């Protein structure tokens, strides 16, 4: 049996971040949001920091590959953006402007640097 090694409020923060991403994407599809920005997520209530990957990660093929995940289409893409949660947990996501969609590819420990 495995136990959750983190504070229980971390699950609430993960749920809250997922809810914000979902609400943002719905509003974007409805046309009440013009485009994706990190600031827009905060306007929608995201309390955690959000950022793109650092230049050293973007330029290192091995590190970049660790942040590549599959879209429902089967295409593998770089999930550069991430929500920074407590305890070193990251939520990596990909923003697809054409479909006004946000895909979450990874929620877990900070990936290698």
Please write the tens of the pLDDT for every residue from 12-56: 999 999 999 999 999 999 999 999 999 999 999 999 999 999 999
pLDDT value at 6 more than 90: no
pLDDT value at 8 more than 90: no
CA 59 – CA 63 distance, rounded (Å): 8
CA 52 – CA 35 distance, rounded (Å): 16
Eight-state DSSP code of residue 40: H
User: pTM to 2 decimals?
Assistant: 0.91
pLDDT for the residue 24:
97
């Amino acid at each position: 049996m495995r136990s959750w090694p983190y504070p229980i409020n971390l699950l609430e923060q993960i749920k809250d971040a997922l809810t914000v991403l979902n609400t943002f994407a719905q509003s974007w599809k409805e046309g009440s949001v013009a485009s994706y920005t990190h600031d827009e997520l905060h306007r929608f209530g995201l309390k955690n920091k959000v950022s793109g990957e650092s230049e050293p990660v973007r330029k290192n093929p091995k590190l970049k590959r660790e942040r590549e995940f599959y879209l429902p289409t089967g295409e593998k893409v770089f999930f550069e953006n991430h929500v920074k949660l407590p305890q070193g947990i990251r939520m990596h996501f990909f923003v697809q402007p054409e479909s006004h969609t946000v895909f979450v590819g990874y929620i877990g420990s900070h990936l290698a640097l």
